[in-house]
Copies of this chain bind each other. A is one copy, B any other.
Amino acid sequence: MIRTIILGYLKYQPMTGYDLKQNLDHSISHFWHAHHSQIYTTLRKMEEEGLVTSEIIPQNGSPDRRVYTITPAGRKEVEDWLNQPMTTASTIKEEFLVRIFFSAERDPQEVIAELILQRKLHEEKLHVYLQLQEHLQNKIQKEFPQLARDVTFWLSTLRMGMRFEKMYMEWLDETLNEIQRLNEQK
Contact = CB atoms under 8 A, between A and B. Distances in A.
Given A94-B90, A117-B85, A167-B167, A104 B32 contact: no
A98 to B, nearest CB: 6
A57 interface: no
A93 B95 contact: no
A125 B1 CA distance: 24
B152 A182 contact: yes
A4 B31 CA distance: 24
Interface in A78-111: 78, 82-83, 85-106, 110
A149 interface: yes
A170 interface: yes
A153 B114 CA distance: 14
Q: Is the interface of A mostly helix, strand, loop or mixed?
A: helix
A164 B94 CA distance: 12
A63 B125 CA distance: 50
Contacts of A4: 98, 102
A5 interface: yes
Interface string A5-48: 10010010000000000000001111111000000000000000
Interface of A: 1, 4-5, 8, 11, 27-33, 78, 82-83, 85-106, 110, 113-114, 117-118, 121-122, 124-125, 149-150, 152-154, 156-157, 159-160, 163-164, 167-168, 170-171, 174-175, 178, 182
- 9 closest A-B pairs by beta carbon, nearest first, are A89-B121, A8-B102, A104-B150, A31-B94, A31-B97, A167-B167, A85-B114, A104-B149, A97-B157
